[in-house]
Amino acid sequence: MSVDGWHTLLVLGGIRSGKSEFAESLVADAPTVRYVATAPAGDPEDTEWAIRLAAHRARRPGSWSTEETAADPGRLVEVIAAAGPNETLLVDDLGGWVTVLLDPAHQPADDTATIAELAAAVRSSTARLVLVSPEVGLSLVPTTPLGRAFTDALGATNRAVADACDAVALVVAGQTAWLKPATPAPAHAVPPAATSPETVPGRAAAPRTTHNQAAPTHTVPADLGAGDVTLPEVLTPAAAPVPAPATSSEPGAGDWAAPTMALPMIATGLVIQPGMELPMPDDYTGPQAVDRLATLDVPGAGLGVLEQVVGFAAATQGTSTPRPWDSVRVLLIQGDHAGGASAGATPGESARRARQARAGRGALARLAAENRAGLQIVEAPASAPMEDGPALAADEVEAALRYGWRLAEQAADAGVQLLVLAACGAGAEAAAAAVLAATAGAEPPTVLGRVVTEQGEIDDTAWMVRCAAVRDALHRTRRSAREAKDVLAELGGGDIALATGVLLGATARKVPVLLDGPVGTAAAMVSRDLAGQARHWCLLPDHGGRPGVRLAADVLGLTPLVDLRLDLGEGATALAALPLLRSALTLAATLPVHPSLGGTDDEGGTDDGRDADRTEDEPDFTEPEPAGPGPTTVGADEPVYPGRRAD
């Protein structure tokens, strides 16, 4: 289970163990937090107690609100029961609540019934709830009646609340041990591996094609171990010609090369499971490359934020002088989500975008051509309405993960140096928001972007439908396990599962990945629980103004390099920024060391005598070779570059 994969959580710990600080850190990323203070004011002359309370207050951010329940022990139950699904509550702590409960001013009372009411409120809560409580059961039995009454009541409270919570953590000397959830997942969380969507009672089968959809580009095969299964072809889009007054080409015709390669599938016995040990980038070459930039002969202050690109490339290439990425491949994942997640989407639009990319038209294909990048289009399994049941069957999740892994393997075997993860699918952003809510504790409305129609208008009604779908899905799965594969099956669906497999496979083969959009960042969030090394092979050029991508970047520790605010579809912004990233790497690899630091200063011209006859007053014009759009195949094996005839 992920540390943040829970809905209600009890944090136990001894005095000064760090339990309160740990609980506060768990909700630090929430937009708003209601802090429920249970402790009574205490003796006004007890300065030490007052200092403790003041320290707690000082740690709370200004955006948090505080509610005190010391006057009435029943108030805590009311606050928890009334909290809505978009609220985050932090109760600190249950020891203070028990103190108030046992106060003679509130006696006689049925303490057992009050504790049961608290547990019931926690169990039925729709809010994100963290409760802190002292663990006093490890000490000696108190020698006074009042001490025994307190430890007995608090022990009973801790047991009842722990049973009601999704997760329980114990903090000892500042170190956290997770005591719950239990290993077995609830029976309803994920269908058995042999169960198909059609056989789940009360659930309609998810549509696998959309209205007026052309033949699928390539679907994830059910049996990935079969030896005759092939991966989708890799296309090389040609750069768009300069517009002319007239053209002889037919409308819609694309200029494409033959497939770059065809990789046969071989049964490898691949098992994708949590805790995989995959490679990490080089810890030393990245900082060395950044330090080396300070020695280069540049006229200004240097590369600025693009130093991060140099450090990333150096670490992933294992050298302090990284080279620009020459071989780049774009993986376009097309997969639709049924139900409220796709509210406001035009039926068949994602299939049209995939056909457009295959034909060499559209923003993604044009940008791929300008970057001399290959383009591979993959159709992910369609996802069922997540608000009604699992978005994807468990066996389909396994198949999608394995298939994505092998797509990355194919790219690595072909010599690809950089992958760009792109996606187009109805409802993908809502599914990604659900994954973020489940893995990072995000509030769905804060990470779900506005819905923009084809006419450029904002559709608030569709946005509310999407929010409701995510909310209902999270409520349906609030007792489900939060393991990576469970999140993909219940919420993520086919496209995010396939993208997760790509990230894991790329990590295993040491191929860096450019992320750009909600599907890629949601996959990166899920991949943390399968292999924590995966996020270190990812680079985020731009968050695109999407709130979900921005939050995922914060959690993953990815710093966006630019803020272009382009909205051309997932993957296109990364391709638009790629020339800038390549330029930074070119400068880092080719610029000499500054003469003041031991570099050479060739003021006398070149050794071949080209400057021998140039007078002092003549300017030195050096015309660089034009950068062409990349090769287009004209024969079986011979590429022809612009400016060279094919005889």
CA distance 219 to 216: 7
Both tokens of 637, joined, read 């094996």
HSE-up of residue 440 (Cα within 13 Å, Cβ side)? 31
Burial of 19 (0-12, 13-18, 19+ CB in 10 A): buried
Helix (H) or strand (E) holding 577: helix 572-590
Whether residue 279 has a cis bond before it, omega within 30° of 0: no
Burial of 177 (0-12, 13-18, 19+ CB in 10 A): exposed
Give the amino acid at 547: P
CA angle 289, 293, 294 (to 5 degrees): 125
Helix (H) or strand (E) holding 419: strand 418-424
Question: Which of 570, 616, 618, 625 is an active site residue?
Answer: 570
Q: Name residues whose C-beta falls within 8 Å of residue 317's C-beta, 6 or more positions apart in sequence.
A: 285, 323
Q: Name residues whose C-beta falls within 8 Å of residue 66's C-beta, 6 or more positions apart in sequence.
A: 34, 35, 36, 37, 57, 60
Both tokens of 457, joined, read 């208008």
CA distance 525 to 506: 15
Both tokens of 377, joined, read 């289009």
Strand segments, DSSP code E, in 111-174 are: 128-134, 167-172
Asked about 409 being catalytic, the answer comes back as no
Give the amino acid at 638: E
Q: Name residues whose C-beta falls within 8 Å of residue 555's C-beta, 6 or more positions apart in sequence.
A: 29, 440, 525
Both tokens of 462, joined, read 């569709």
Q: Name residues whose C-beta falls within 8 Å of residue 162's C-beta, 6 or more positions apart in sequence.
A: 10, 12, 168, 179, 180
CA nearest to 310, candidates 394, 237, 298, 45 = 298
- Give just the sign of the alpha carbon dihedral 297, 300, 302, 303: negative
Q: Name residues whose C-beta falls within 8 Å of residue 410's C-beta, 6 or more positions apart in sequence.
A: 231, 261, 263
CA distance 375 to 369: 9
Alpha carbon 81 to chain centroid, angstroms: 32
CA distance 494 to 488: 8
The answer to whether 549 and 530 are in contact (CB under 8 A) is no
Q: Give the Cβ contact number of residue 434 at 10 Å.
A: 34
Q: How many residues does the chain have?
A: 647
Alpha carbon 235 to chain centroid, angstroms: 27
CA nearest to 516, candidates 556, 554, 560, 551 = 560
> With b meaning 16 or more CB within 10 Å and e meaning fewer, what string describes 55-93?
ebeeebeeebeeeebbeebebbbebbbebebbbbbbbbb
The residues carrying an active-site annotation are 570
